Structure 1
Amino acid sequence: MKKIIVWSLIASLAGFLFGFDTVVISGADKKLQLLWHSSDTFHGTVVMGMALWGTVIGAIFGGIPTNKIGRKNTLLWIGILFFISAIGSAFANNPFVFAAFRFIGGLGVGASTIAAPAYISEIAPAKDRGKLVAFYQFNIVLGILIAFLSNYLLRDLGENSWRWMMGVQAIPAFIYSVFIFSIPESPRWLLSRNKDNEAKKVLQLIGLEADFEKMKEEIDIDNANVAFTNDHIFLKKYRTPLLLAFLIAFFNQLSGINAFLYYSNRIFQEAGLGESTALLSSIGIGIVNLIFTLLGVFLIDRLGRKVLMHIGSIGYIISLSLVAMAFFFHWQGIAVPIFLFLFIASHAIGQGAVIWVFISEIFPNHLRASGQAFGSTTHWILAAIIPSLIPFLFSSIGPGVVFLFFAIMMVFQLLFVFVLMPETKGISLEELSEKLIKR
């Protein structure tokens, strides 16, 4: 079990780079708009939004290398993409070059949401799978916190401080890439490629060699289905896991989480806080996110995925409604940060802890990467569109209306969880496939 934990932690470091890459731009947001004299629309869609469109492409096509070259090799290439993006963004001399290198980093983010959860779910025992896959989310949150802290510490390095903010990510990207060499390939992927001896060696390393025959039999059945039926996730029999993956990803972004993370400084300044206070408040957001993610990781295999989603949905509705009221009634001072702390806590213990675990569980072995890609693509298309519109929406209809819309959408998420979402706690991946597939 110790080896599984170590390998899961190493693979989940892709989440650290994801979180860091997503949030580091918030410290450079206004500096870059002033430097390049960008309009709100250009700044939102090109300078800020291009990484998110890279993430969409990475999510759409990330399932291909994850299936073809393996989970481990894909994770290695993800580290290389993040390294190139960090160096290139730091040395960019115009918005288009900057956007191009941010796009490369986005490819890494999108692919990581497929390869890392798939890898961890395939090496983890059923009773610990939720906790181990949630390491990925924990590292996303840790990356977010370190990015906020890094931005704060580097803020006074002059007019080029944004270059240091963007470039420092090269260090963890390099370290992560080196660590990936120490993990084995997923035994389930090896079996799906008829590399039985290699799979058996990995299972022996983790003390699960007794499961070899059962796992091989189930994967052989999956492979036969592919060979004889041209199986794919859009067949009618897979509509339940497909719908579940779509809805959990859809509601994740309709909470406004990525819009908030990308523009946290701008939101705090809209609420009347100074720039330094806004940066400090962002660090507070990162700390709250980390604490409640740890709580979610602790509870996900105890209370289950569905209970955490209920808790998170109710917290979303309360906190987002309060944020909207704060902007409508011009509440100043500490009110907005407190409400947003509640918002991030609700996200961390609910959607944040659950989404990547849940999507990685609900598809059969031979379609896991494809299903993960579908859920991730839904997530990232919305994550690209919504934050790109934030500068325009704030200046046109105001932040109060925007946050009220997010609050209303979370009412619908609560209904989805209550009516449609199944509990997946403690059930093997193969049993879940049988339960959710309509034959």
Structure 2
Amino acid sequence: MNKGYSIFISLVVALGGFLLGFDSAVISGAVGGITHYFSMTDWELGFSVGCVIFGAMAGNISAGPLSDRFGRKKILIITAILFTASASWSALATGYLEFVVARIIGGVGIGGAILIAPIYIAEIAPPKLRGSLVSLNQLNIVLGISIAYFSNYFLKDIEGDSWRWMLGVEAIPAFIYFLALFIVPRSPRWLIQKLNHVEVARGILTKIGGEDYALATISEIQRGIAKKEPKGTFYQLFQNRMRTIMIIAFGIAFFQQITGINAIFYYAPTIFEQAGGSTDSSFLQAIVVGLTNLVFTLVAIWLIDKLGRKPLLIIGTATMAIALSMATLAFNNATYNFSKVSIDQIENSEIRKALNEYQGKSFSSQKELFSNLGPVLNESQLHEFKRNHVKKFISINANLVLIAILLYVAAFAISLGPVMWTLLSEIFPSNIKGIAISVVGFFNSLVSYTVTQFFPWELTNLGPTLTFAIYAIMAILSLVFVIRYVVETKGKSLEEVEALLVRG
């Protein structure tokens, strides 16, 4: 078994995950800059951050069928081109609409890479290594997130529009990915299933695992083909025989996003500023979030083929629920104290003048604070205070918030992060895998967009206490779902998984 060759191919393909992660997290550092430059409202900010997911939906729904027709490798090359174009254009944008379009183009690349890279790796990986190698894509995603936080920190003090540098630097790894993809082979399973190029596939499989492995794998693929309809369709996904698979797929795709992970990654510095941190400390804490994500993804890769998929999901979702409850508790116990120093920090003279009468007063909750400010601030002034100034007055256990966020990210990194994509690459029959993962990926992106779009509005209007409480409830429900519905696929061939899950 040539483990080195399998790992090399997987690492090259998983560079798409690095770009996905970088693109997802780099916007967190640019939020302040783009909000000021384009004069955004909460909804415009949410859309400019979340619009990338609209592009991801288009990539999700089209990448699978296109990869079935033209091959996994060609679609990955196209995603590299889209990443390069998006990074360059968004950094140079001078208008809000132009910026949004550039972000959406990058989203198409994200939607393609996040689906096709795991499929490709699952199709070239030996069964004993498949979980670990597919998880390399998730590892690269979190590595990209970490590098983005570091990049943002070191670029934030550039004179002028530092957000342009933050967004534009992504073009460099995107172009490297484009070049690197030309040295990886085509998927041997796709070559046999779609083109019947058995000898070409045999050569690739021999390099991966030797002659005996190649012959055994080809025989298994051909037996699988003999059992299946020649071409899968969208309607097959919703036949009764696919019911168990679709419950698992849609459920895990829903809970991966509804528990708030992209709110954390896209708005990490904003969350830490809500807990009273300075800009510098908030960017540094975001780096710690990225590093935590990276370390525990490595733990997941080590455990996924040892402990199994379902145990990791149970441990992870239970811990996520605990962590989000801790964050809820921290914000719920916060107090808001009005001193002359904090009031004088407000630039708006009308708001500052109105708040002078509150000098020396304290409030035990955001609800109490806002009900007291209602009579002295008009609607627009109160909105501005909620959005920009409330963090100046908060007194909170910031360490508890940091610990809760880090615990949540660590739990996600060993469970819903890598395990979802591993499961999706395993549970669908080969003849409809491309279509199936496109549909489920589209749904996953839709949920992600909803979380991302609403998060700035939630922080302003519901406050962080209720926002994190909602995510905690969703984490509890995800634990219940995993215990009830998810099945174990560890150590099984793709054909064995199909036999286990497909009814009839």
TM range (shorter): over 0.9
> Given the alignment, which residue of 312, 336, 357 partners 2:422?
357
> Given the alignment, which residue of 419, 422, 433 partners 2:484?
419
Residue 296 (1) aligns with residue 296 (2): no
Bigger Cα Rg: 2
**Residue 235 of structure 1 aligns with which residue?**
239
Residue 403 (1) aligns with residue 407 (2): no
Conserved 8 A contact 2:83-2:106: yes
**Residue 284 of structure 1 aligns with which residue?**
288
Name the aligned partner's letter for residue 198 of structure 2. D
Give the 3-state SS of the residue equivalent to 1:393 in structure 2: helix
Q: Classify 1:332/1:431 alpha carbon distance in 2 versus 1 (closer, same or farther; 3 Å).
A: same
Residue 138 (1) aligns with residue 139 (2): yes
**Residue 17 of structure 2 aligns with which residue?**
15
- Deviation readout 1:354-403 (Å, 9 max, x if unpaired): 11101110001111112221221121101111111111111111111011
Name the aligned partner's letter for residue 281 of structure 2. T
**Could you tell me how far apart the structure 2 residues matched to 1:149 and 1:29 are?**
16
Give the 3-state SS of the residue equivalent to 1:181 in structure 2: helix
Residue 343 (1) aligns with residue 347 (2): no
Name the aligned partner's letter for residue 267 of structure 1. I
Alignment of 1:214-233 (within 5 A): 214-221=219-226, 224-226=228-230, 232-233=236-237
Alignment of 1:172-321 (within 5 A): 172-193=173-194, 194-206=196-208, 207=210, 208-221=213-226, 224-226=228-230, 232-321=236-325
Deviation at 1:113, TM superposition (A): 1.7
Conserved 8 A contact 1:306-1:423: yes
Name the aligned partner's letter for residue 6 of structure 1. F
Q: Classify 1:148/1:319 alpha carbon distance in 2 versus 1 (closer, same or farther; 3 Å).
A: same
Quick check: 156-165 or 330-339, which moved more?
330-339
| Cα-Cα RMSD | 1.4
Q: Classify 1:348/1:216 alpha carbon distance in 2 versus 1 (closer, same or farther; 3 Å).
A: closer
Q: Classify 1:230/1:165 alpha carbon distance in 2 versus 1 (closer, same or farther; 3 Å).
A: closer
**Could you tell me how far apart the structure 2 residues matched to 1:52 and 1:248 are?**
18
Conserved 8 A contact 2:16-2:177: yes
Deviation at 1:417, TM superposition (A): 1.2
Alignment of 1:70-149 (within 5 A): 70-149=71-150
Conserved 8 A contact 2:233-2:432: no
**Could you tell me how far apart the structure 2 residues matched to 1:233 and 1:268 are?**
42
**Could you tell me how far apart the structure 2 residues matched to 1:174 and 1:423 are?**
38
- Deviation readout 1:139-187 (Å, 9 max, x if unpaired): 0000000000000000011231111000000010011111111100111
Conserved 8 A contact 2:233-2:435: no
Name the aligned partner's letter for residue 384 of structure 1. Y
Deviation at 1:335, TM superposition (A): 2.0
Which TM-score applies when normalising by structure 1?
Answer: 0.97
Q: Classify 1:121/1:335 alpha carbon distance in 2 versus 1 (closer, same or farther; 3 Å).
A: same
Name the aligned partner's letter for residue 120 of structure 1. I
Give the 3-state SS of the residue equivalent to 1:185 in structure 2: coil
> Given the alignment, which residue of 20, 39, 42 partners 2:41?
39
Name the aligned partner's letter for residue 32 of structure 2. K
**Could you tell me how far apart the structure 1 residues matched to 2:54 and 2:170 are?**
20
**Could you tell me how far apart the structure 2 residues matched to 1:209 and 1:344 are?**
39
Alignment of 1:1-12 (within 5 A): 1-12=3-14
Deviation at 1:230, TM superposition (A): 8.8
Conserved 8 A contact 2:328-2:465: yes
Name the aligned partner's letter for residue 485 of structure 2. L
Give the 3-state SS of the residue equivalent to 1:62 in structure 2: helix
**Could you tell me how far apart the structure 2 residues matched to 1:319 and 1:182 are?**
43
Give the 3-state SS of the residue equivalent to 2:495 in structure 1: helix
Give the 3-state SS of the residue equivalent to 1:356 in structure 2: helix
**Could you tell me how far apart the structure 2 residues matched to 1:167 and 1:214 are?**
47
Deviation at 1:240, TM superposition (A): 1.2
Which TM-score applies when normalising by structure 2?
Answer: 0.85
Conserved 8 A contact 2:89-2:102: yes
Name the aligned partner's letter for residue 305 of structure 2. D
Q: Classify 1:401/1:131 alpha carbon distance in 2 versus 1 (closer, same or farther; 3 Å).
A: same
Name the aligned partner's letter for residue 5 of structure 2. K
Name the aligned partner's letter for residue 442 of structure 2. T
Work out the percentage of aligned pairs sharing the same amino acid.
39
Conserved 8 A contact 1:126-1:428: yes
**Could you tell me how far apart the structure 2 residues matched to 1:304 and 1:212 are?**
23
**Residue 502 of structure 2 aligns with which residue?**
437
Give the 3-state SS of the residue equivalent to 2:225 in structure 1: helix
- Consecutive unaligned residues in structure 1, runs of 5 or more: none
Conserved 8 A contact 1:245-1:374: no
**Could you tell me how far apart the structure 2 residues matched to 1:11 and 1:88 are?**
24
**Could you tell me how far apart the structure 2 residues matched to 1:22 and 1:16 are?**
10
**Could you tell me how far apart the structure 1 residues matched to 2:234 and 2:298 are?**
41
Conserved 8 A contact 1:79-1:174: yes
Conserved 8 A contact 1:188-1:219: no
**Could you tell me how far apart the structure 1 residues matched to 2:299 and 2:116 are?**
24
Conserved 8 A contact 1:241-1:437: yes
